[in-house]
Structure 1
Amino acid sequence: MDSLELKIPPALLFILTVAAMWASAECLPAFDSVGWFLCALGWLSFVVGGLFCVLGVLWFVIHQTTPDPRDPSQSSTLVTSGIYSKTRNPMYLGFVLLLSSYMFWQGSPLMVLYIAAFVCFLTRYQIIPEERILGYRFGQTFQEYTNRVPRWW
């Protein structure tokens, strides 16, 4: 299964998860009515998730390093400031919040299973290999960063 490491870009995995959630929306049990609270929670997740994604990419651009997750060895700088001082994976956390927004709008609590599968796959086949490579590349600096800043939140 190591052959899947760093093979599926996280953005593609996000799109596939959204497609699966959308395709199964009619089949999954949902609340009869999505009230104002779930709707508001959906919008909050959507805005914050989008903000995390944008800030994650923007910080990489500002620090002139690659936001492309397919080859972490190409990273020229270890970004630890801004949004990266709160979470090591703001773009991935943003994806989770965006998926959550869709779940809230659909009013289907079982969609949390898709989100859990997304997190598990992403952690195993993207984040852990990324961190291994960044650990080799940036050594003690990266280790100190991982001790100080949580992987997700």
Structure 2
Amino acid sequence: MNAYRAKPLTYPWPPFLYVLAMLGAVALGRSAPIAVAHSQGWIPWLAGAALVLIALFLDIWAMKTLIERHTAVLPHRGSSHLVTCGPFRFTRNPIYLGYTIMMVGFGLITLNPWFFILASASVALTTAFAIRNEELHLLSRFGFEFERYCRATSRWI
């Protein structure tokens, strides 16, 4: 039996990775701040708050869609159904995209460039170590149907 068929990950580490990245951005913002001109006043804060709300909406919509389709929400559990509706019509990873958008939003709210830097690193690490394993899991479970979905829907945006 294919090792990826049962479950994609042994631990649900992408949410943990994003939390660590956010904490790292806060710590680096305090210990090694990067100067940012912020003459626009409240505009970055409003844009950041809007992005955080969009990210929350996207994450909740994606989780609700997975629950309605009776499949796993956490990335360390095996999928019972291939979900291609809801936010999954637009991106194969709406929850991770939501985490990334949230980090960018917090970066704008706090005017801390470390959020942008660590969001980029989180995207790279999540793609390399989590998404690829999840995709192998889905490919082994759903075969051609998943391949067709991958051709029609981008991994991130």
TM-score normalised per structure 1:
0.89
In the alignment, the residues of structure 1 paired with residue 124 and residue 16 of structure 2 have an alpha-carbon distance, to the nearest angstrom, of 15
Query: Is 1:31 aligned to residue 36 of structure 2?
Result: yes
Q: How does 1:23-102 map to 2 (within 5 A)?
A: 23-26=27-30, 27-33=32-38, 35-71=41-77, 74-102=78-106
Q: Which deviates further from its counterpart, 9-18 or 118-127? A: 9-18
Deviation at 1:125, TM superposition (A): 0.5
1:140 aligned residue: 144
Contact 2:51 2:105 (C-alpha < 8 Å) held by counterparts:
yes
In the alignment, the residues of structure 1 paired with residue 43 and residue 35 of structure 2 have an alpha-carbon distance, to the nearest angstrom, of 15
2:3 aligned residue: none
Distance 1:81 1:8, change over 3 A: closer
Deviation at 1:106, TM superposition (A): 1.9
In the alignment, the residues of structure 1 paired with residue 36 and residue 110 of structure 2 have an alpha-carbon distance, to the nearest angstrom, of 8
- 1:152 is paired with a residue whose SS is coil
In the alignment, the residues of structure 1 paired with residue 55 and residue 133 of structure 2 have an alpha-carbon distance, to the nearest angstrom, of 23
2:156 aligned residue: 152
Q: RMSD of aligned C-alpha atoms?
A: 1.6
Q: Tell me the amino acid that sits aligned with residue 107 of structure 1.
A: L
Aligned pair count? Answer: 147
Contact 2:49 2:106 (C-alpha < 8 Å) held by counterparts:
no
Q: Tell me the amino acid that sits aligned with residue 72 of structure 2.
A: T
Q: Percent identity?
A: 27
Q: Tell me the amino acid that sits aligned with residue 34 of structure 2.
A: P
Question: For each residue in 1:49-101, what CA deviation from the matched residue of structure 2 results, as whole angstroms up to 9, or x when unmatched?
Answer: 11111111110100011111013xx2110000111101111100000011111
Gaps of 5+ in 1: none
Q: Tell me the amino acid that sits aligned with residue 56 of structure 1.
A: A
Q: Which deviates further from its counterpart, 100-109 or 76-85? A: 100-109
1:118 aligned residue: 122
Q: Tell me the amino acid that sits aligned with residue 80 of structure 2.
A: S
